[in-house]
Amino acid sequence: MVWTMWRAVLAMTKAQYNFFRIPQLAILFLVVSNAVFGAQAKRRHHPVHHTVRHGAVAAHRAGSPAGSSLIHTIAYVPQGPVVRGGPWTEPTYADSTVGDNADGEDLDVRRAAVEALGPYNGSVVVVNPASGRILSIVNQKLALGSGFQPCSTIKVSVALAALSEKVVGRDGKLWRRGYNLTQALAHSNNFYFATLGLKLGFDKVSYYAHLFGYGEKAGLNIAGENPGRFPSAPPKNGGVGMLTSFGEEIAQTPLQLAALMSALANGGTLYYLQYPRSVQDVSNFVPQVKHQLDIQNLIPEIKPGMLAAVEYGTARRAQQDEAIAGKTGTCTDSHTHLGWFGSFNEAGKNKLVVVVLLTGGRPAIGPMAAGVAGEVYRNLAQKNYFAANAPTMAPTLISTQICCAR
């Protein structure tokens, strides 16, 4: 077909054809042939599968045995309208405050969270880790829903389990050369955490995950809250290694991640999260303890990696003058791109836990979620929020179950 068109071009220009017209004719030929080949390629292209390669898997290629790369392949069968820019079934941008009820919330915190989230489709949950009180939830429908794959935020739970079981040595290394625990958390190294999963085994991973709140409601009598999901067996796609590096087959809610981050921030108390919905609820608020986790000696080993994530790792967008510890997560769940960030700050009297979940297309990534959380802290710091005196309340122990000692 291209040769036929080329002959037609020569015929049209035969009368004027000479040596000086060769460059013009060459350009014309390229334009015509590109158009033809492009059309033919377009007709031949029938995508059947969508493959998502989680880029961080290759980060430890030097210590990774051949063929151990974790590649997540998903049959592409869209479940809803496809959003421009990719096979995403959720929009990247939306008004995330639609349907929210701000009664009982700390309005300064809510304002800071709404401004930080801006036009993105997602949720921000802010919790006081000293009491378990939820200060604000932006996009309550999303935060209280059935949950999403936790992506790399599951690595916090896995790290605590590995430290509890002494799978990781005092230097935090699994091999003589390669990342230690701090570096693996900072850079969210998938091969490191897949290896931890294999060393722990599914039963121990599941045991600790449930102690840390997975598979059950994080809140106490919060209307509409869902318990998420934790699988009863290793995932069919990638086994326990895929679970401990990407959170495969787990459904995590923002409240569950906020509760775990609160326990790390306060020294090991896993509170029931409570969400006061009126001025009277706030005045009558009493903290309720769910578990007293035996992780006081483990926190100093895991916190440096979470601080490093913000200082020089995957969460650099959250960086500011005061220290923030956190963990990012990026993956795809049912044709929705996800960006997670769970965090707590280290300065001031009023410590806060900030969890961000972004959904949508490619902009919904962990580093972007970290940037949103950083903006929440920054907005509040500008109002001297962390210098103010916070009221102290004596907690009530509801559950006496102690974590991490069998």
pLDDT score recorded for residue 54: 34
What string of DSSP letters covers 341-397? EEEEE-SSSS--EEEEEEEESTT--HHHHHHHHHHHHHHHHTTTGGGSPPPP---EE
Average pLDDT over residues 7-36: 42
Of the candidates 382, 338, 389, which has an alpha carbon nearest to the alpha carbon of residue 364? Answer: 338
| Cα–Cα distance measured from residue 58 to residue 370, given in angstroms and rounded to the nearest whole number | 22
- Give the pLDDT score at 387: 83
Is the domain covering 55-403 a CATH 3.30.390.10 domain? no
Digit-coded pLDDT (tens) for 79-91: 444 445 567 788 9
Sign of CA dihedral 231, 237, 241, 244: negative
Are the C-beta atoms of residues 89 and 334 closer than 8 Å to each other? Answer: yes
pLDDT score recorded for residue 388: 66
> Once rounded to an integer, what is the mean pLDDT over residues 226-251?
97
Q: What is the pLDDT of residue 43?
A: 34
Model pLDDT, residue 159: 98
Contact indicator for 181, 301 with CB cutoff of 8 Å = yes
pTM to 2 decimal places: 0.77
Per-residue pLDDT, 84? 52
Token pair 């998420």 is found at: 228
| pLDDT for res 244 | 98
The 10s digit of each residue's pLDDT in 57-115 is 333 333 333 333 333 333 323 344 444 556 778 899 999 999 999 999 999 999 999 99
With cut-offs at 50, 70 and 90, classify the pLDDT of residue 45.
Answer: very low
Q: Looking at residue 360, what is its pLDDT?
A: 94
How many other β-carbons are positioned within 10 Å of the β-carbon of residue 192?
31
| Residue-wise pLDDT tens digits, 166-187 | 999 878 999 888 999 999 999 9
Stated as kind and residue range, the H or E segment containing 403 is strand 402-403
> Would you state the pLDDT for residue 292?
96
- Whether residue 188 contacts residue 309, with contact meaning beta carbons closer than 8 Å, is answered with yes
Q: Distance between alpha carbon 133 and the CA centroid of its chain, in Å? A: 22
